[in-house]
Structure 1
């Protein structure tokens, strides 16, 4: 007699339920898929593999829960979100361990930076909700009052490179706004989404307000974004997948927010602090280069190119690659065999076309598995594939320029526009260049300084829309303007 499939996986001694979370209940599927750890390739869990029926059930649960949650007073919604944040803080170590095993990012980063940001996402939008208002204004004696009305069930599709942080970046404002949510986490890193469902339930979030639908994009994801009951879709991922999401949304005119890829530049001018610039450049290998914002194109003024390169290679040589669970590790594995092969394909084609690998250039020979060496390629043309397309791995290119105009032209010379970093000692140049760059975020003499009050998103193929601060509420709500006449009243109020 066949044994029933287990519904709980033990990951780093942390039990994780492998079923969907729909309407406040765990729901199994007839089929499952295997989730592997990128650290050593070991299987972690058999995950419920959802499809059209599970997607419909999740949207139905979100729709049923929506009226009551939307009517819940702001202060109560904020209280519940703070309770979710408290739950995240209490389980920070469990979440960090599971996330590291599931997506291969550094355990020290999860403990010190990522998990505190997860809790902060909930706290920030809870507090922002209570501050959300627009000053009334007058039109010929008539009063205008702007309000943010909850839109309805939201479909949130999140990537694998920072699973929980990027999921809560969407979940928190959607819930704060009074919406209900169906989260579809990436199939390569689904585990902490399941833990978050437990935490949210324990914090008092009503059943159906947050639902977690697991499965493949072509099955669960397509069914979710095509559902007519979904009123908002927020997606973070590739341009190719975004086209499918947008096409599905168009059938029902569902508003979408798309945070897509990047091919961001780091511009290093001759007047820059070259030690700082080299530090910023090496920082782009964070998370094995699997960061959408990474400045993968180093653009260096010719006069200081050699001096910059010496500093860069010295710092890169000190990076330690290995097991992400170890405190001393700086770079862990890539997420999946398919991703590693994609990265290596880009590098091999670039080398065949005449590029030179200053460092790296292939998988790590000593570590094997999914560990790809930090790589820097020079002798690349502006129209080369390696310069134009997002690799999403620990691969940087270096090009030189002579003038400010040339630097800006190279920086803007791709189809992307997510972010840019500028290293210069001249304040006027910094402002002048930033104003000319096509990017959703520009950092000057720094990198990855993020404030949730700021708008976040990209231009061109890097996405559609902005989220963060009030911009998140603008997306997750239907904005309403109520105009009231000064006359015609029969009461004395």
Structure 2
């Protein structure tokens, strides 16, 4: 086997970059490690500024042709990419599970179908993208969406392919070219996506994939003068660096950042439903930006809620994510595990009480944890842990519930459990969040705007919002008196 190929669960993956339709190796590599057992999944080409610049140059060269491609043809190719994802869905699922530790059953049943849907949705939306013409003093206004140019898309490790294609699909549908930089802890399915896209007929240079550390390749991408859009999902500190890097050329940014979302449980809620919603926050070992990690319960039902929560959480099975019976898999990386445990141990030392968990397991696993007796201004309440760690606080009325819910620097999402529709309307109107769920969680439609408030992000994507970001929106105004031809 070539030194640039690796095999994961029988699936062969090229570990080189994909630039201008060709595989390109770097002189240095980094080791990709499975969180399941710490085994090596392969030596991955470690990009530098040179590969970053080459990828942007390839995207720039391919842009005029792809931008001029009729929308119907762009849509056809995107649907072919979706078909390719469907054909390789099982391979993608098993590779992703080995690479980031999320449940195989979730990848099979939900994630990979959603990846294909991302391409089909934006292909369809492209063909119906329209703004009704309107008149101003007899003049006709016509709104159109012009492709912006090469886009740099930087994606996280917790849902690698799904979150990448949330960005890739609309960027390509809009007529842009793309440089995709996946997280170094989970790069493998991005490489497979490059193969699938090429097989679907996507022209060379329209989608480029570069791997490596942000500190070594990131600035070459985000500070490049030929990049016209940057979309990033990740941490607030990294976003600040990207924003500073992009500022020199005023490159527009879309940033989906951290969260410390609340789940508000009122006394009139269906407690069994509320408990189900709370336990669901352990999904993907708590490595979900939208997770409602701060459980806020009305004081009169807090004891009963805690009893039911403890009972349900105790029945969760943690183990190998390839096992269909597993409910919670591993934490992605030893560094992340140390970070999680540090948060918990500092909270316990400060007086918090672990009602559930509060300890490390073997390997990369951290026990599902619920901490009580925590202060609103404590680190564990204010900072994103990004692991299977929840806190529980109580409130006495709506005003206090909203004050606690809004009492962080974040504003990505919120969940409300109540049996009173009027209360739901009052409370949701006061919550600072990009998405609010009432008596449900993680219902996500690509037609809807998605993004965060405060330090949870900048901008919105989804439906028309995606095209507004990935395009230069143009208004053409035509005089009412017709045309006079000069000969």
2:281 aligned counterpart, secondary structure: helix
1:73 & 1:282 partners in 2: Cα distance?
47
2:230 aligned counterpart, secondary structure: strand
**What does 1:446-457 correspond to in 2, within 5 Å?**
446-457=440-451
In the alignment, what sits opposite 1:233?
Answer: 230
In the alignment, what sits opposite 1:251?
Answer: 248
2:239 pairs, out of 238, 242, 250, with 242
**What does 1:112-261 correspond to in 2, within 5 Å?**
112-261=109-258
2:385 & 2:433 partners in 1: Cα distance?
18
Tell me by how many angstroms 1:37 deviates. 0.2
1:105 pairs, out of 98, 102, 105, with 102
1:191 & 1:59 partners in 2: Cα distance?
21
1:7 & 1:420 partners in 2: Cα distance?
44
The CA deviation string for residues 251-293 of structure 1, in whole angstroms up to 9 with x for no partner, is 1100000000000000000000000000000000000000000
The CA deviation string for residues 453-492 of structure 1, in whole angstroms up to 9 with x for no partner, is 0000000000000000100000000010000001251269
Tell me by how many angstroms 1:222 deviates. 2.0
1:207 & 1:489 partners in 2: Cα distance?
41
1:311 pairs, out of 308, 313, 317, with 308
2:146 & 2:236 partners in 1: Cα distance?
30
Tell me by how many angstroms 1:226 deviates. 1.2
Give 5+ residue unaligned stretches, structure 2.
none
2:483 & 2:316 partners in 1: Cα distance?
73
The CA deviation string for residues 147-167 of structure 1, in whole angstroms up to 9 with x for no partner, is 000000000000000000000
2:461 aligned counterpart, secondary structure: coil
Give yes or no for the alignment of 1:379 onto 2:373: yes
1:246 aligned counterpart, secondary structure: helix
Tell me by how many angstroms 1:75 deviates. 0.3
In the alignment, what sits opposite 1:462?
Answer: 456
1:225 & 1:330 partners in 2: Cα distance?
38
In the alignment, what sits opposite 2:481?
Answer: 487
In the alignment, what sits opposite 1:332?
Answer: 329
1:430 pairs, out of 424, 428, 434, with 424
1:222 aligned counterpart, secondary structure: helix
The CA deviation string for residues 195-243 of structure 1, in whole angstroms up to 9 with x for no partner, is 0000000000000000000000101122111111100000000000000
2:156 aligned counterpart, secondary structure: coil
In the alignment, what sits opposite 2:294?
Answer: 297
Tell me by how many angstroms 1:295 deviates. 0.1
The CA deviation string for residues 58-115 of structure 1, in whole angstroms up to 9 with x for no partner, is 0000000000000000000000000000000000000000000000000000000000
2:18 & 2:341 partners in 1: Cα distance?
37
1:491 & 1:132 partners in 2: Cα distance?
32
1:208 aligned counterpart, secondary structure: coil
1:40 & 1:46 partners in 2: Cα distance?
17
2:483 & 2:365 partners in 1: Cα distance?
72
The CA deviation string for residues 304-358 of structure 1, in whole angstroms up to 9 with x for no partner, is 0011111101110110000000000000000000000000000000000000000
1:305 aligned counterpart, secondary structure: helix
Give yes or no for the alignment of 1:441 onto 2:439: no
What TM-score do the two structures reach when normalised by structure 2?
A: 0.99
In the alignment, what sits opposite 2:26?
Answer: 29
2:135 & 2:11 partners in 1: Cα distance?
58
The CA deviation string for residues 400-449 of structure 1, in whole angstroms up to 9 with x for no partner, is 00010000000000000000000000000001100000000000000000
- Displaced runs of 4+ in structure 1, greater than 3 A? none
2:31 aligned counterpart, secondary structure: strand
1:249 & 1:147 partners in 2: Cα distance?
26
1:271 pairs, out of 245, 260, 268, with 268
**What does 1:338-377 correspond to in 2, within 5 Å?**
338-364=335-361, 368-377=362-371
1:456 & 1:137 partners in 2: Cα distance?
28
Give yes or no for the alignment of 1:471 onto 2:465: yes
Tell me by how many angstroms 1:5 deviates. 7.3
1:33 & 1:5 partners in 2: Cα distance?
17
The total of aligned residue pairs comes to 486
